[in-house]
Amino acid sequence: MTRRSWLLAIVLVGGTTAAAYATRSSWLGAGASAQAPQQRVRTISIETAKAERRTVPMEVDSIGTVTPIASVAIKSRIETTIVAVHFEDGARVKEGDKLFTLDSRQIDAQIAQAEGTLARDQAQLAGAERDLKRFSDLIAKGATTQVNVDNAKTQSDILAGTIKADESLLDNLRVQKSFTEIRAPFAGRISAAAVKIGNFVRPADLTPMAVLNQMAPVYVSFAVPQRVLGELREGMGAGLSSVRATVPGNGKSESGKIAMVENTVDAQTGMVTVRGMMDNHSELLWPGTLVNAKLTVRTEEAVVVPSAAVQRSQSGNYVFLVKDGAATVQPIDVSRTLQGLSVISKGLNGGEEVVTDGQLLLTNGSKVEVRPRKAGV
């Protein structure tokens, strides 16, 4: 083959290639359109829950402290020694139970002396009254002077006053004698005894002999924000407010009522102290214990949804509603959350189906498919 023939062949091949490249869109498009499958609308798998209308409480959480309603530091009111201790350390005692017996021998002797003095003065008064009667009879007969009658009357009055003083002294000694038996003024639990038999005690001692705390009922004191003060007072007036104290760690709790709201708001913290009264018959709440206090201010009818359904954006909170197999955006107002539920104040009426899982893939109008919830969820 000559050189000219080679050149002619190369030109023909190049032309064919150029023509094929120029018409590629037509023949490729025809083949692609013949083989391309028809596109389907994407369906997103979601989980849903119902918006419910129910009675929900308005609650405030705080940290509280258990304090006894009554607590007494037991001290001696006389100077003497201890002759008996009648309780075990930390024991539960009843009202009127004997706790300590003190040495009363000195007071017993003083009482006997006072009783003797009283008896003597009573005898002297009886003699003075007889003299007064005798002189009164004699002056009627003109057998004595008025001076004798007046002196007898004076002596009788003096002895009557002396007897009153003797009786007062004797009563005082008997009161002092009662201090030698120390009894529980109310039911509760006694602390460990700080003194033992034979110890000398006196009123000036700084350390109490023991401390008695009332255990049932008890107070739980805690602080709440001043913003709930108005609603709390209204709830207390209607009998709707209550408090529950839970001991951290074991989950056990005790319920009670509001006993007092402090009459002043702390200007530095903006908090007001509330005191709840717990029956505490089981002695779950121990004085000095820190507890989780949950104050129920009031209850109200409201729409609630799972908090997982609530989404947030720059324009506010919203949820996705499922209607006719599609998701639609519904703006809402959330007033508060409660145990995994959000209380809706505006936007829902109850009964709507809201999306709780799968929202990240949704837009307004997305086609959705509700998948079954897992067992135990």
312-344 per-residue burial string, b: 16 or more CB within 10 A, e: under 16: eeeeebbbbbbeeeebeebebebeeeeeebbbb
Cα gap 227→330, rounded to integer Å: 30
For the chain, percent of residues with pLDDT exceeding 70: 88
Domains of the chain are 46-54+302-370 (2.40.420.20), 59-69+214-300 (2.40.30.170), 79-103+180-213 (2.40.50.100), 104-179 (1.10.287)
Q: Is the peptide bond before 203 cis (omega within 30 degrees of 0)?
A: no
> For 45-55, what is each residue's pLDDT tens digit?
999 999 999 98
Q: 């009127």: which residue's tokens?
A: 96
> For 67-107, what is each residue's pLDDT tens digit?
999 999 999 999 999 999 999 999 999 999 999 999 999 99
pLDDT for 250 equals 85
Distances (CA, A) of 325 to 43, 355, 367: 9, 12, 6
> For 117-150, what is each residue's pLDDT tens digit?
999 999 999 999 999 999 888 888 888 888 988 9
